Structure 1
Amino acid sequence: MQWEDYRQSENVEDRRGGGGGGDFAGVPGGRGGLGIGTMVVLGLVGWALGIDPRLLIGGAELIGGIGGRQEPTQETRRSAGPPADEMGRFVSAVLAQNEDVWSKLLPQQANKRYEQPRLVLFNRTTSSACGRAQSAMGPFYCPPDKRVYLDTSFFQEMQRKLGGGGDFAYAYVIGHEVGHHIQNLIGILPKANELRERSDERRSNEISVRIELQADCFAGVWAHNIQAMGRIDQSDVEEAMRTAAAIGDDMLQKASRGEVVPDSFTHGSSAQRQRWFNTGLKSGSMQSCDTFKAQQL
């Protein structure tokens, strides 16, 4: 993936203390890892959660900002603008690519102006309008403050625990979270969340899967456009597909408890995640990403 010569987004809020990140090649992070046992499993499951991270660690519903708004305190507020370390610059460049693609695409395809989200880099824990953000939640999007929260040590966990990694795999993670922001802007996310609150657990999980798969598809739409710009090649696409397969609910459930329970899926199977990312990648069209009308996911 070509990113080094790309512009840097001004919408990165760096709360990592000590100036951030370390070497990109070693997958920086400030934090050594998520620990063992349950926390490792939660970290792996939580990476693609997007809108409901606390469900995994406390059973609390995060959707819609339940738990109260919390503005960043002076202690957690750090520098704004592009970070100086390599991982920070990578994240900033990928966010800038998303900004450039969606600023053109959203008005064209959805007749909506693109409002640029902010991306918060943090170590271990920070505050958000959705409550406390913690590394074990994985990257997530908070609808009330329209921010993506990311502890980049998660990328190290991807590499160590999933046997994957690579710059476009990491970019796919960011693109997925921006996909949730797109859902929020066009009104899908609040409607889906409201429907979840009125549904039983099985139906709520099904809606969550559709939300997550659409975010995967939107990430594919973004990838279609940067592929047209010559920023990624086929090996990058294969990297993203491997990542999508590795974080399917079926794979994670099998790894954590030795069995697969489809009714408890919240993000989709490996095959579903690959299929919907590939749908967006091939079409470049948001209209191809209507997971809510699709009879077969």
Structure 2
Amino acid sequence: MEWKGRRGSGNIEDRRGASIGRVGGIGGVGAVAVLLIGYFLGVDLTPLLNDPGLNTGGPPREITAADQQAGEFVSVTLADTEEVWDKVFKDQLGATYNQPVLVLYKDVTQSPCGGASGATGPFYCPGDKKIYLDTAFFTTLSDRLGAKGDFAAAYVVAHEVAHHVQDELGILGEANAARARMSEADSNQVSVRIELQADCLAGIWARQAEAQFGSISPGDLEEAVNAARKIGDDTLQASAGQRPSPDSFTHGTSKQRSTWFVRGYNSGRLDQCDTFGTNRL
């Protein structure tokens, strides 16, 4: 993915230099975040929370050169999503796209949806219409989950932006209101449809980014598809030494996630991402 030297977004809120208090393991802010942002979390890392290497705490670290580069990458990727969704909303809906803010943080921060930490992964919070991202997650994505490459990381950003797109369309609020009235099992099924639709919307972004910017290199698409596979519920649970339990799935299987991403990429159409109107996920 060709991103260096390209336009960055003006919608970045950088909190990485902010002071933080000490946080415990999953009994602290990390556990609160898992409980409160389950509706919105783009990647379910709950099976990995027992890893002490993912716990946070202590004073903030300085912003390293690697941190700076990761922030610039996210800014460029976010700018691409802004241009893509501006165009898609205008062309396919005759509507205006309201761009989200992306919060960069390091170790831990707060949101209206609860605490955020490196252990919980990126998420979109409808409470303030912001995306929360600790770029250290990209290392987790690459080293722990086996989803390597710039475009795999860009897919994660695009997936969270897709939740904002769902919010703009009224889909996210309606789906989550319905979930609040359901049993846990039924709520999980709706969550899967939310996440698979976000994968499909991320596929639309990838197609449009390729057409509008010419920044997609050979192999980039496969990086994104591989990332979608690596963060399927069945794969994450198996990697954590657990027997995959479909009733507990909240994001979809590896096959479902990659299939819906490719569907969005191949079609480029919002009407092809209706995961709520099909019985075949």
TM-score range normalised by the length of the shorter chain: 0.7 to 0.9
User: Structure 2 vs 1, CA of residues 263 and 50 (structure 1 numbering), >3 Å: closer, same or farther?
Assistant: closer
Question: After the TM superposition, which residues 1-297 of structure 1 pair with which residues of structure 2 at under 5 Å, given as runs?
Answer: 1-17=1-17, 51-52=40-41, 85-229=68-212, 230-297=214-281
Tell me, in whole angstroms, the C-alpha distance in 2 between the residues paired with 1:185 and 1:112: 10
Q: Which amino acid aligns with 2:7?
A: R
User: Across the two proteins, how many residue pairs are aligned to each other?
Assistant: 250
Equivalent residue of 1:3, what SS? coil
TM-score by length of 1: 0.78
Tell me, in whole angstroms, the C-alpha distance in 1 between the residues paired with 2:9 and 2:256: 31
Please say if residues 50 and 180 of structure 1, whose CA atoms lie closer than 8 Å, have aligned partners that are also in contact.
no
Please say if residues 50 and 177 of structure 1, whose CA atoms lie closer than 8 Å, have aligned partners that are also in contact.
no
Equivalent residue of 2:151, what SS? helix
Cα distance per residue 1:270-295 (max 9 Å; x no partner): 00000000000011111100000011
Tell me, in whole angstroms, the C-alpha distance in 2 between the residues paired with 1:152 and 1:206: 29
RMSD: 2.7
Moved over 6 A (4+): none
State the 1:246 CA deviation.
0.6
Please say if residues 45 and 121 of structure 2, whose CA atoms lie closer than 8 Å, have aligned partners that are also in contact.
no
State the 1:122 CA deviation.
0.4
State the 1:164 CA deviation.
2.4
Q: Which amino acid aligns with 2:264?
A: G
Which residue of the partner structure matches residue 30 of structure 1? none
User: Structure 2 vs 1, CA of residues 220 and 253 (structure 1 numbering), >3 Å: closer, same or farther?
Assistant: same
Tell me, in whole angstroms, the C-alpha distance in 1 between the residues paired with 2:108 and 2:250: 24
Unaligned runs of 5+ in 1: 19-33, 58-75, 77-83
Please say if residues 248 and 271 of structure 1, whose CA atoms lie closer than 8 Å, have aligned partners that are also in contact.
yes
Tell me, in whole angstroms, the C-alpha distance in 1 between the residues paired with 2:41 and 2:135: 19
